Amino acid sequence: MGLVTRFTHRPDSRPNFRTEVECGWNAADVGGRKLLRLETYGSADRELPGKRSQSLELDEAGARELLDILRRTFPGLR
C-alpha cells in the first residue's frame, strides 16, 4: 500500500482491464490527516478470490488532483 503523492500522465500506458473486480474504500483521520483508502479484491478466478489485491491511499492534495483528472477525463461529471 502506498500514499499517492503525485499523478503522472502516461500516454504510453493505455487502459485495458482483464477482469472486473470490486473496489472497497474507507476514510480515516491518521495523525491529524484525513486519508482515503481504495483497495481492490481478487477476482472470482484468482487462487484466493476476494483477498485484498492492491491498495492506494490519498490525502486531500492527492484527492484534489485525482478529482481534476476525473473531471478532465469525464467532462459530464460535476
The whole-number pLDDT of residue 69 equals 96
Range of the domain at 33: 21-78
Evaluate if residue 9 carries a pLDDT over 90: yes
**63 part of a folded domain:** yes
Query: Could you tell me where the beta strands, DSSP code E, fall in the chain?
Result: 2-3, 23-30, 33-41, 52-58
**35 part of a folded domain:** yes
**57 strand-pairing partners:** 3, 37
**75 part of a folded domain:** yes
Q: pLDDT tens digits for 45-64?
A: 777 777 778 899 999 999 99
**4 part of a folded domain:** no
**52 part of a folded domain:** yes
**Could you tell me the CATH number of the domain that includes residue 62?**
2.30.31
Domain count across the chain:
1
pTM for this prediction? 0.80
